[in-house]
Amino acid sequence: MTDRKSITTILQDKEYENDHLDAIFRHFPGFVYQLRQHPDGRLTYPYASSSAHVLFGINPESLRDDGMPLLKLIHPNDYDRIMESTARSVETMCEWHEEYRMVVAGKTIWLAAYDIPARMSDGSILFNGYATVITERKILEARLAESERTFRALVESANDVIYTLNPDGAFTYISPMWTEQLGHQRHEVIGRPFTQFVHPDDLETCFSFLQEIVTLGKKRAGIEYRILHKNGSVQWHMSNASPIFDDDGVVIKYMGIARDITESKHLQHKMEKRANFDLLTELPNRQLFFSKLESLIGKCVLGQLQVALMFIDLDYFKPVNDKFGHAVGDLVLQEVALRLRRSLREGDLVGRIGGDEFVVALADLKTPENTPAIAQATAERILTAIAEPFAIEGNTHHISCSIGIALYPEHAENAVALARLADEAMYTAKSNGRGRFELYQSVASRVPL
């Protein structure tokens, strides 16, 4: 293949005549030339290959006396730049290379030109060079640039965070939405591992997600995880990600789109709370409490543990509610919930199942012989706590509670039966004077009065 050095070498060989040069360059895909800058400033082409006629519609012979007809075809927006760069090449006698447009018969073509200046004995400068048509490449470059601009505009205006990670899990790109949503500037994220930004409790989930992408070699979607805002708060993201491979099928990066789902997560949490918690006291409601009780009993079966279930009903609450109104009654119920929590151990369950009815389950009781004593001691603490006066809105209110206790597995082997027996024991406590607890006794074990 003829390279640019060999072209200029042939042009500099004075043994060749123009006819011989044409024979050499007839099939060369471009325009080969010698451009002379005379001492008086005139520009001529001692040699221009026959392709000048094909490309520019100019007879090469006519350029030997005046090169301006060809030079005037240079696009007006490029002309000054080309003349200035040519002048610099003359000053330094360095190789010259430029890409520029020419307007031929109303159409624009792009050329990539290369030549080498040489100072002649008469003071003129002779440029030996060639130019190739690069119009198609320039069109493709323009299309690619437009495509990249469009893609970047889409990415940078997207409402979601778009990011890329290298195979080690470090960020190589984040879209502007990251800063808008999470506060970190770009330089605070690029080059750093994603582990610095994801909530520690969700890291294992994220690692598994990336491993699945590598293993399956395709897009994965729907991972939800918490991510840390610069101000220390936590937000929720849902992300899709795809692997990007090199020619050998090796993952070179991950590209992902993350959507902020914090608001929907909060809404979901509120809905779950409304479905599972008493809105007034924020204690588990009947449905959640007994679901937890079932799970607790299931654990006890495996670990041979005991559970004590208490049904608690407030005494003298109705007069307070009727006399002072539901607003005061609600404040009393909220205070009762606080006192119940303080009376229990971590891991014990407490819930509200009705207007002034509460339930408690003592968990992980290991020794059957001690279970009744532990349950009764807890009941005593609850009785004492509820008996303390309630100071609300300038008034002091006195109530108490009645507690019924049933034990698993001594009294019943499932949650439904256990609840029925605890409720029965509670009504026994009420009928025996209120403000007290009763441990369930089977009919056979009851002592006649």
Residues in Cβ contact with 26 at an 8 Å cutoff, skipping those fewer than 6 apart? 49, 50
Residues in Cβ contact with 134 at an 8 Å cutoff, skipping those fewer than 6 apart? 99, 110, 111, 112
Q: Any idea which of 50-54, 231-235, 290-294 has the lowest mean pLDDT?
A: 50-54
pLDDT tens-digit series, residues 84-100: 999 999 999 999 999 99
Region 193-201: mean pLDDT is 95
The pLDDT value given to residue 437: 96
Query: Scanning the structure block, which residue is given the tokens 């109303």?
Result: 106
Nearest to 78 by CA among 98, 60, 59: 98
Domains and CATH numbers, the chain: 4-139 (3.30.450.20), 158-265 (3.30.450.20), 277-445 (3.30.70.270)
Complete edge-to-edge strand list for the sheet that includes strand 220-228? 171-174, 161-165, 251-260, 234-245, 220-228
> Is residue 350 pLDDT above 80, yes or no?
yes
Query: What's the farthest any 2 CA atoms get from each other in the chain?
Result: 141
Region 324-344: mean pLDDT is 95
> Is residue 304 pLDDT above 80, yes or no?
no
State the Cα–Cα distance between residues 315 and 127, nearest whole angstrom. 110
Buried b (16+ CB within 10 A) or exposed e, 341-364: eebbeeebbbbbbeebbbbbbbbe
Average pLDDT, the chain: 89
> Is residue 447 pLDDT above 90, yes or no?
no
The pLDDT value given to residue 419: 95
The pLDDT value given to residue 214: 86
pLDDT tens-digit series, residues 122-153: 999 999 999 999 999 999 988 888 887 777 77
Residues in Cβ contact with 163 at an 8 Å cutoff, skipping those fewer than 6 apart? 171, 173, 174, 175, 178, 255, 256, 257, 258
Nearest to 2 by CA among 28, 21, 22, 37: 28
The pLDDT value given to residue 27: 57
State the Cα–Cα distance between residues 7 and 23, nearest whole angstrom. 13
Region 385-393: mean pLDDT is 95
- Convert the chain into a string of H (helix), E (strand) and C (coil): CCCHHHHHHHHHCCCCCHHHHHHHHCCCCCEEEEEEECCCCCEEEEEECCHHHHHHCCCHHHHHCCCHHHHCCECHHHHHHHHHHHHHHHHHCCCEEEEEEEEECCEEEEEEEEEEEEECCCCCEEEEEEEEECHHHHHHHHHHHHHHHHHHHHHHHCCCEEEEECCCCEEEEECHHHHHHHCCCHHHCCCCEHHHCECHHHHHHHHHHHHHHHHHCCCEEEEEEEEECCCCCEEEEEEEEEEEECCCCCEEEEEEEEEECHHHHHHHHHHHHHHHECCCCCCECHHHHHHHHHHHHHHHHHHCCEEEEEEEEEECHHHHHHHHCHHHHHHHHHHHHHHHHHHCCCCCEEEECCCCEEEEEEEEECCCCCHHHHHHHHHHHHHHHHHCCEEECCEEECCEEEEEEEEECCCCCCHHHHHHHHHHHHHHHHHCCCCCEEECCCHHHCCCC
Nearest to 418 by CA among 378, 376, 361, 368: 361
The pLDDT value given to residue 86: 93
Count CB-CB contacts under 10 A for residue 123.
10
State the Cα–Cα distance between residues 225 and 210, nearest whole angstrom. 13
Region 386-391: mean pLDDT is 96
The pLDDT value given to residue 217: 86
The pLDDT value given to residue 82: 95
> Quick one: 26 exposed, middle or buried, by C-beta within 10 A (0-12, 13-18, 19+)?
exposed
The pLDDT value given to residue 22: 59
> Is residue 316 pLDDT above 60, yes or no?
yes
State how far Cα 92 lies from the chain centre.
54
Q: Are 406 and 352 in contact (CB under 8 A)?
A: no
Residues in Cβ contact with 114 at an 8 Å cutoff, skipping those fewer than 6 apart? 4, 95, 96, 97, 129, 130, 131
State the Cα–Cα distance between residues 291 and 425, nearest whole angstrom. 22
Query: Scanning the structure block, which residue is given the tokens 């937000």?
Result: 235
The pLDDT value given to residue 443: 47
Single pTM value for the model? 0.57
134 to 55, 72, 172, 303, 345: CA distances (angstroms): 12, 19, 33, 80, 81
Tokens representing 35 are 């451009």
> Is residue 73 pLDDT above 90, yes or no?
yes
> Is residue 223 pLDDT above 70, yes or no?
yes
Work out the percent of the chain whose per-residue pLDDT is above 70.
92
Q: Are 242 and 213 in contact (CB under 8 A)?
A: yes
Work out the percent of the chain whose per-residue pLDDT is above 90.
70
Integer distance in angstroms from the first to the last C-alpha of the chain? Answer: 119
The pLDDT value given to residue 155: 75
Region 331-357: mean pLDDT is 94
Region 231-249: mean pLDDT is 92
